[in-house]
Chain A
Amino acid sequence: MKDIVQVDKISYNYPDQPLLFDQLSLDVHEGEWLAIIGQNGSGKSTLARLIDGLIVLNEGHITVDGLQVNDQNIYNVRSKIGIVFQNPEDQFVGATVEDDVAFGLENQLFDRSKMHDIVEESLKSVGMWDFRERIPANLSGGQKQRVAIAGIIALSPKIIILDEATSMLDPRGRKEILELVQRLKNENHLTVISITHDIDEAAGADRVVILNHGEIIDENTPRGIFSHPDKLRQIGLDAPYTSKLLAALSKRGVSDEKSYMNDEELIAWIQQLVSTK
């Protein structure tokens, strides 16, 4: 599989701060959903900003779809990446929902005759076309994130970065946004990098990387990562619900089953225990 993002031995520190990344390397495969998890301050969002060229590295290289992230390539690099930020309030410019989506296209000097169709198509794909004449400020958190995603889809990027994009939403809004991104990913052959401390969001990824104090301390499938719930807790993250229930059962002497199970697997396992007692 081709690597769409290559982070090669990068070093970075914020002004007057100690080194956050020291020789960090990471590859993102084309078409995968990669979750980068870690607690507040672990460097997750900084990494996203470096990939998008919003901040500049001290050392090393980052390549996005074959282009090195530098001054010369910056606009081409950014045209390949769309970022959904944590707080939707911080990313609106248009007076109405459709203006906001059109803004990005105008900025890219898009052909006006095509613009209307693209805005319509993008808003429909996130289920917000009926809200096109509304003021973004008056929408709910989940609706705002949908509009932000429409603005990104309109520019047909290759990579979407979700930078804690669901952390301010209620559980329902969170689930809906993740389902939406999953669908858009499949329809548009996107690569998704989701930066999160929500274990349920990570559970839906193809691959998970744990970042702690600027270092990658683990990298695996969600199943592999969740098989060590203690490790997750040590770095301030939560264990998946099924791991907690298994632990409570093993404490009660039911079984010493230690491997990770998702909801369906754990239900089937309990069903079997109960029926064969």
Chain B
Amino acid sequence: MDTAISLNKVTHTYQANTPFAQNAIDNVTLQISKGSFTTIIGHTGSGKSTLVQHINALLKPTEGHLEVLGRVIDPNTTNKNLKAFRKHVGMVFQFPEKQLFEETVLKDIMFGPKNYGVNDGEAKKSAFNAMELVGLDKALADKSPFDLSGGQMRRVAIAGVLAMNPEILILDEPTAGLDPRGHQEIMDLARYLNKNKQMTIVLITHQMDDVIDYATNVIVMDKGKVVKVGSPAQVFSDPKWVYGMQLDLPSSAEFAQQLKKAGVNIGQLPLTIDALADRIVRLVGKGDTK
């Protein structure tokens, strides 16, 4: 698979050259493949948000460099000429609804494309497409975004990013504070964009079940360093290590651990509810399991 994002010994120091200097990310080298669904996990303060803000050059490395869709970003990169590049790297921040500002939903979503010089007609078309993608009713187009519910506002903000049709979509805890249905809808949207629009997805999450249900690749961070990269199964294979990173296991693995402690010989840790149920069925020796 082609590489979409490649970091080479990237270090970012906040407040460099002061007594408060702090390495938020430290000598990070990694690759993210085109078309992958990559999740970044790690304890609060491990450097996840700092890392992804390099991908659209919002932050520049203090040392090292990265290459995103063929574009090199290093400590000397200036904001000049970055606009065309940033169009391809969509970023949905935490609580993106806080960034809404326009009078109507439609205007807010059109802002991005228009900012890139797209004419009104085209921008409107992109905006309506994006509204459909995120499941916003067309009737909401002329409403003020501030009259909508929290979940709807979040969709407007995400639609504003999708209207630019980026190749890479970065989502920083996009479902924080949403109810379970809202959560699932946003996650399913990310999967749809990945599968059907070939978007490369980079997702920061605290929810290990989402890693299992949606991701192809996982990056684990701790104290500014990348400490593990692999498939969800590889990353969660060693419960002790996972707990040591102050992370949780996916629900099914956690439950299986408890069964193990209670003396049930569950074998290798199952990661999904179906895998766990199959395992139990085999132990009980009933049912139509293969």
Interface on A for B, CB 8 Å cutoff? 39-41, 86, 140-142, 164, 167-168, 170-173, 197, 199, 236-238, 241, 244-245, 248-249, 251-254, 263, 267-268, 270-271, 273-274, 277
Contacts and interface: CB of A to CB of B under 8 A. Distances in A.
Interface in B207-256: 207-208, 246, 248, 251-252, 255
Contacts of B281: 249, 252-254
Given A40-B151, A245-B273, A263-B258, 5 more contacts: A172-B248, A245-B277, A249-B281, A267-B264, A271-B263
Given A245-B277, A254-B287, A168 B176 contact: yes
A34 B206 CA distance: 27
Given A41-B149, A168-B176, A263 B283 contact: no
A254 B207 contact: no
A167 B255 contact: no
A270 B288 contact: no
B284 A274 contact: yes
Contact of B177 (A168, A237, A277): A168
B289 A252 contact: yes
Given A41-B149, A167-B177, A277 B274 contact: no
A172 B246 contact: yes
A253 B287 contact: yes
A140 B46 CA distance: 12
20 contacts: A39-B180, A39-B181, A40-B178, A40-B179, A40-B182, A41-B151, A141-B44, A171-B206, A238-B180, A245-B273, A249-B281, A252-B277, A254-B280, A254-B281, A254-B287, A263-B258, A268-B262, A270-B264, A271-B264, A274-B283
B284 A167 contact: no
A245 B276 contact: yes
Contacts of A197: 179-180
A266 to B, nearest CB: 8
A277 B283 contact: yes
A214 to B, nearest CB: 14
A253 B177 contact: no
